[in-house]
Amino acid sequence: MNLEIYLPVALLALTNMLMAWRQPRMHPAWHARVLVVLTGATALTVLAVLVFVIMIAAGTLKAADATVMGNVLIDHGQVPAPVGGVAIAALLLITAAVVHAIVRWRGELRKARALGTGVVADEHPFAVAVPGREGGVVLSKGLMTLLSRRELEVVLRHEAAHLKHRHHLYLMAGALATRIFPALVYPYRTLAYALERWADEDAAKAVGDRVLVARTIARVALAQPASSPSAYPALTGSHVTRRVEALLGQTPPDNRFTGPALLGGAWMATGTAISPTLTHHATFLVLLL
């Protein structure tokens, strides 16, 4: 079997790593959008390759089919049975991991929604944005006593930005992508950082004081205990030191032209990477159905 079939996964994974490692000078909103497109495309490509390998190994595709499709699949050669078995096992493990991630995410969401919205009676300082119709911004009593009125405005603006831009969907898409292809963990962490920076910049623009936003994030982070990753965004959920340093620096450019251009380029690169080996596979599957 030709190694060409694995080329799209390799190209997309490499692009993800480069985008996460060499972060371009652009607004974090565009960086997050590009990352979620690339991670999602990589994960879907992995699934497509696994399904294709299983179909060839199982003998579902016969030589007679190639006379109709014009050597659509025969060019890749035969897949050894052990390789097909490994692909089946990988697909089963991926399915279990994805189901587990969804169940865990829903459980965390139920716990967060059980707190209600507004101020809750908890002495630990925290703030989270809980998505959904029954969601909203949750502030603890400990946070209310810790921060000043202006700092509380920063917190509310930050969490409102998470809700407005539906950042929980970005996080969920990235988390599912890592369950499908664990090598995407590093780009996923960069995505989480970009989402927090996005909310930080929205808050800084709303209150008109970047130093105030940086100080608020630092105060909350120092006052609260270490928290584990969550399915819903929180004020100090990711890369606090880097975020504070970024806020104390220059305002990132809006990228009104370069941002959409880079996002469009990500879509084009995705299509270019996938098309050489998967386009005709998809065509075959459609005809087969």
- Of all residues in the chain, the percent with pLDDT exceeding 90 is 34
Structure tokens at 80: 């050894």
pLDDT tens across 178-217, in order? Answer: 999 999 999 999 999 999 999 999 999 999 999 999 999 9
- pLDDT at position 178, please? 94
At residue 289 the predicted structure's pLDDT band, cuts being 50, 70 and 90, is: very low
Q: CA–CA distance from 48 to each of 6, 164, 215, 249 (Å)?
A: 10, 33, 46, 43
Greater confidence, 11 or 284? 11
Q: CA–CA distance from 59 to each of 56, 73, 74, 80, 81 (Å)?
A: 5, 12, 11, 10, 10
- How does strand 136-140 pair with strand 127-130? antiparallel
- pLDDT at position 214, please? 94
pLDDT tens across 225-258, in order? Answer: 554 445 555 565 558 888 999 999 888 877 666 6
The answer to whether residues 14 and 176 touch, using CB atoms and an 8 Å cutoff, is: no
Mapped onto helix, strand or coil, the DSSP state of residue 162 is: helix
The answer to whether residues 131 and 168 touch, using CB atoms and an 8 Å cutoff, is: yes
At residue 76 the predicted structure's pLDDT band, cuts being 50, 70 and 90, is: low
Q: Per-residue pLDDT for 32 more than 80? A: yes
